[in-house]
């Protein structure tokens, strides 16, 4: 089975475009956290001309999904800054942002704000952490918690789309 960072070869669009549905789902099912259905449905849009085409196809599948599927996708993500079990992709992303090295005070702030956010919206705070630091993430969490529910739902999906794009860019060999 393919897993983030564990491919035995450089994944290319050429290889993805030749895969059957099952192999495609296995190769890209992790891109959207615990939602392999996104890759499985996007397979129908092959062949992909470039990474952006692939990303748009996957985003389109989430956009067309039911509200229940979208909420389940959001809920599949871990809380930022917690010490919960994480997928390899999430662990790497959070470590890159310094969220694996929080002080006690920072951890307490993340825990408190994450709980308030989840209580209000029904899903964890989502933020594409690549290129950001823990202070910026904590500030975004504090700033977005008072948001309107519909606006925040849209923002959470946009963040998931950014996370997926970062993962695709990291996973695919950009030479092809």
Q: What pLDDT, on a 0 to 100 scale, did the predictor assign at position 97?
A: 79
- Bridge partners, 11 (sequence order): 172
Going along the chain from its start, the domains and CATH numbers come out as: 13-171 (1.10.3330.10)
Q: What pLDDT, on a 0 to 100 scale, did the predictor assign at position 85?
A: 61
Q: How far is CA 30 from CA 140, 168, 171, 173, in A?
A: 25, 10, 11, 17
| Gap between the Cα atoms of 79 and 56, Å rounded | 26
Q: What pLDDT, on a 0 to 100 scale, did the predictor assign at position 78?
A: 82
Spans of the chain, pLDDT less than 50: 1-8, 175-176
Give me the percent of the chain exceeding a pLDDT of 90: 72
| Gap between the Cα atoms of 57 and 7, Å rounded | 22
Active site residue 77: yes
Q: What pLDDT, on a 0 to 100 scale, did the predictor assign at position 76?
A: 93
Q: What pLDDT, on a 0 to 100 scale, did the predictor assign at position 90?
A: 75
Q: What pLDDT, on a 0 to 100 scale, did the predictor assign at position 83?
A: 61
Residue owning tokens 């952490």: 129
């Amino acid at each position: 089975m393919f897993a983030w960072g564990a491919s035995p070869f450089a994944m290319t669009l050429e290889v993805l475009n030749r895969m059957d549905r099952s192999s495609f789902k296995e190769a890209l099912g992790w891109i959207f956290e615990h939602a392999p259905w996104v890759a499985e449905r996007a397979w129908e849009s092959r062949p992909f001309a470039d990474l952006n085409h692939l990303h748009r196809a996957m985003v389109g599948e989430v956009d067309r999904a039911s509200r229940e599927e979208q909420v389940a996708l959001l809920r599949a993500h871990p809380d930022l800054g917690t010490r919960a079990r994480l997928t390899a992709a999430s662990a790497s992303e959070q470590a890159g942002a310094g969220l694996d090295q929080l002080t006690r005070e920072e951890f307490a702030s993340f825990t408190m704000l994450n709980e308030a956010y989840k209580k209000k919206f029904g899903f964890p705070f989502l933020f594409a952490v690549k290129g950001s630091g823990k202070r910026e993430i904590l500030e975004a969490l504090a700033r977005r918690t008072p948001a309107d529910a519909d606006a925040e739902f849209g923002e959470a999906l946009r963040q998931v789309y950014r996370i997926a794009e970062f993962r695709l860019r990291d996973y695919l060999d950009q030479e092809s």
